[in-house]
Amino acid sequence: MLLLKLLIVPIKYKDFADFADDGGSIRFLKDIKRKTPLDLGQRKGSLSPTGFRRLCETLGDATIPEPEKWVPWDAFKFIQEFRRNYNGEITDTLLEKMLFELNRIWSRRETARLNRLKNQYAAEIRRLERKVQHHPTYKEVQAKQTITRLRNEIKTAHKDNRQAFAERMEK
């Protein structure tokens, strides 16, 4: 947790810290270096007659941005266990089950993220409300200035009135 708090400070690592803070531990997919033909929108017909192309030949320098390689550890662990349990065979039923479980993992993660953001912004709102409560509004400042001006005018008028009354007796 302390490491995540330290990572928030530099702007360069803020996204990583937010991502890691949302769901606990994460996994970095280090073996994925380039985008696949699906990522680049290539169609099946554009592949070679054998149906395969080497990624390094066809995609050039289509590297994947680092944030796209961050995966929640729960999802990575689930896929490993799923592959081990079903020997890498995927039927329609197993595919649906796998997608359902991955959806649950991401849903829990997004719920945690939303709750974290709600709490963060609620704390910010409370802080701003306290700040506003301790600072007078513009109308209050204006009213206080008017009151001070009128009190000074009353003092001046009272002083002038006493002086005029004293001069009246002399006349």
What residue ranges do the domains of the chain occupy?
2-134, 139-171
The encoded tokens of residue 14 equal 């803020």
Spatial separation of the C-alpha atoms in residues 112 and 125, rounded to whole Å: 20
**Beta bridge partners of residue 72, listed in sequence order:** 26
Contact 113, 22 (CB under 8 A): yes
- For residues 5 and 16, what is the distance between their CA atoms, to the nearest angstrom? 11
List the one residue out of 38, 107, 33, 118 whose CA is nearest residue 72.
107
Residues 111/72, Cβ–Cβ less than 8 Å:
no
Q: Is residue 62 within 8 Å of residue 41, measured between CB atoms?
A: no
**DSSP reduced 3-state for 49:** coil
Q: Which pLDDT does position 5 carry in this prediction?
A: 56
pLDDT values of the chain reduced to their tens digit, one per residue, 171 residues:
555 555 555 666 666 666 666 556 666 666 666 666 555 555 444 444 445 444 444 444 567 777 777 778 888 888 889 888 888 788 889 989 988 998 998 888 889 889 999 999 999 999 999 988 888 888 989 999 999 999 999 999 999 999 888 888 777
The pair of three-digit structure tokens given for residue 87, joined into one six-digit string: 């020997």
Residue among 26, 115, 15 at smallest CA distance from 75: 26
Pair of tokens at residue 118: 């709600």
Separation of alpha carbons 109 and 81, rounded Å: 19
Q: How many Cβ atoms are within 10 Å of 97's Cβ, its own excluded? A: 14
What the block records as the tokens of 146 is 């008017």
